[in-house]
Amino acid sequence: MKKYFNLCLMLLISGLIGCSSSDNSEGVPTDEPDNNGGNAMDLTYTSDIRAIIQANCLSCHGNPPTNNAPMSLTTYALVKSAVENRGLVNRINSSVNPMPPNGRMPLATRQMISDWVNQGLPE
Ligand code: HEC
């Protein structure tokens, strides 16, 4: 599962790089902190994602969780775990079973979370 995710991430990143003038050889991951293809802005949990989760999720996914929510999303580690193990990105984009349950967040907000995940969940 993790392997599959990493593969997708690599494909995505190399796809983005392919459109820019970067001379990274194809598909080779680097450790450069800025290696996001130069398109999406650099996002971190602390400066960008935490506030979104606070405003839209913690009314149920607090500590302790309420309204039958199965887990808390109050820390970086918990959000990361929900992305990796609980399909968080799928759920925020689901039209059938969205999170939050009363309606999806604006597209730009959901996109920001997806970009952050694709950038490797920087803290
Ligand atoms: C009104 C309460 C409420 C809010 C607000 C809410 N959730 Fe949930 N969430 C639930 C409940 C209840 C469940 C369990 C039932 C289900 O999976 O639909 C759940 C389940 C989930 C699951 C699946 C967990 C699993 O293991 O299957 C994820 C991921 C999730 N929520 C993420 C979020 C995120 C991210 C937000 C904010 C963007 C959010 N939720 C906002 C109540 C809420």
Atom of ligand 1 nearest to the CA of 82: 29
Report the range of poorest mean pLDDT among 16-25, 96-105, 108-117. 16-25
- 118 membership: H or E segment, kind and range: helix 107-118
Pairwise CA distance, residues 70 & 20, whole Å: 42
Cα dihedral across residues 94, 96, 101, 103: positive or negative:
positive
Q: Give, as one character, the DSSP assignment of residue 46.
A: I
Q: Give, as one character, the DSSP assignment of residue 105.
A: P
Ligand 1 binding pocket includes 50 (Cβ within 6 Å): no
Length of the chain: 123
Q: Give, as one character, the DSSP assignment of residue 47.
A: I
Residue having the nearest C-alpha atom to atom 27 of ligand 1: 86
Tell me the per-residue pLDDT of 7-55, one tens digit each, with 9 for 90 and over.
544 444 444 444 444 444 454 444 444 444 445 689 999 999 999 999 9
